[in-house]
Structure formats: structure tokens, C-alpha cells
Amino acid sequence: SQQGEEDPQALSIQEGENATMNCSYKTSINNLQWYRQNSGRGLVHLILIRSNEREKHSGRLRVTLDTSKKSSSLLITASRAADTASYFCATLPQGGSEKLVFGKGTKLTVNP
Amino acid sequence: EAGVAQSPRYKIIEKRQSVAFWCNPISGHATLYWYQQILGQGPKLLIQFQNNGVVDDSQLPKDRFSAERLKGVDSTLKIQPAKLEDSAVYLCASSVGGNQPQHFGDGTRLSIL
């Protein structure tokens, strides 16, 4: 079963614009992770945010987490054509499980 | 640091045939995962190993899928016999364990005719 649900399913923007993707989940989590997947490739880990954290930055990426709303957002600032990819959130549920549960992803297209 | 290696990259077989995928994780990573990713969806965990022991195989269709990780390093995933619905990308990932980020290979794209 898939716990995370990304929104929107697809997003098309111009180079230089910001891209925001949202993720909602259902159960309590240990942490939430964002991954990127380029076409025909494996997933690449972007950022991990723990349940006791509210915001995290990495380069042009900013992730927020609201555990009261069971939601997270990924912001990519000043997007580039190379950011074109699918972005997945993955949750690690509380309770000792090491099983990441992925959403269906947001397909981002950045037009040059 | 070498990444997760998978082979083959592509495989086409007919239904009811068997197929095997191979994965070599990042050196020193104790935890190894096999995922199935159907087109347009996120990866779904099939099986997780800690060293050479199985941690979670609750979503592995055990009547047709099997996996092993001999000596706690390389792993193979086998499907026998294959069904049309097994068409997907099979991804292998590894991590140092616990709740640490996972490192993925580029996957094997399986097409069933």
C-alpha cells in the first residue's frame, strides 16, 4: 500500500521559476524523505527530515514538515532544465519498521 | 564510491518463463532492498535483507518470486513463472541500515510478452 500522496501529479514550469510539490501521508512517521528519479534511472536521495524537525534546506531545496497535518512540501528554487524528473516522497513509519513507503510521485517538467 | 550495480538493464521474456536479476550493493551496506516499480507509480518494497537474513518479505508473491542474499553481499531476485502483470522495473537499493537514506541502482526493466 502507498502511504504518501504527492500533489500535483504533474507540474510544468519555466526555467528560473520555483516548483512546489506536496506530500500527504496517513500514519505517524519516524522521518520523511524526498527522492528524485530521472527517466530510465534509479532514485536519488535528496533530503531527509525527521518527525521533530519542521524545515530543512539543501542547496536550492527546501523541505517543510507539518506532522499535525501529516503533510510535507518540497520547494525547488530557481529551477533548471536539469531538474526535470519525477519526485517522490517516502515515509518511514513509527514503530521500528525500516520499510519506506513511497507515494506515486510528481512529474516535474522545467522548460528552457 | 561505486554505486549499486544491477544487471541486466533490460529483459524481455514470454509469460510462464523464468527470469533472474542480480544486484551488487554499495560496499559495507548491510541492508539490501528489492522494489517493484510499475509504470506511473512509486516503488513498492518486495523484500528487505539485513546482511543475509530476511527482515521483511510481506509483499513478495512467494508462489512465484524468490530472493536470496548469500554471504550478505550480492543478491538475486527470481520470478518463476512470470505473469503479464510482472512487467515493471525492478530496483535494488542498499543502505547502512536503520532509517538512513537508501541508494538505488538503475533497475532492470522487465517486459513480459
C-alpha cell at A88: 517522490
B60/B57 Cα distance (integer angstroms): 5
Write out pLDDT tens, residues B38-57: 999 999 999 999 988 999 99
In which residue are the cell numbers 510499475 written? B38
Q: Measuring CA to CA, which residue among B36, B1, B103, B98 is closest to residue A35? A: B103
Q: Provide the residue-wise pLDDT of chain A in tens; the chain has 112 residues.
A: 456 688 899 999 999 999 999 999 999 999 999 999 999 999 999 999 999 999 999 999 999 999 999 999 999 999 999 999 999 999 998 886 678 999 999 999 999 9
Omega cis (within 30) before A8 = yes
Q: Which residues of B touch A40 (CB under 8 A)?
A: 106, 109
Q: How far apart are CA A15 and CA A12, in angstroms?
A: 10
Cβ distance A24 to A71 under 8 Å? yes
Report the alpha-carbon distance of residue B65 to residue A17 in Å, rounded: 45
Q: Which of B89, B48, B13, B20 lies closest to A98, judged by CA?
A: B48
Length, in residues, of chain B: 113
The model's pLDDT over B57-90, given as tens digits with 9 standing for 90+, comes to: 999 999 999 999 988 899 999 999 999 999 999 9
One-letter amino acid for residue B101 of the chain: P
**How many residue pairs bridge chain A and chain B with CB atoms within 8 Å of each other?**
56
Interface test with B, best of A35, A49, A100, A102 (most B CBs within 10 A): A100
Nearest by CB: B45 against A48, A99, A103: A99
Q: Would you call A45 helix, strand, or coil by DSSP?
A: strand
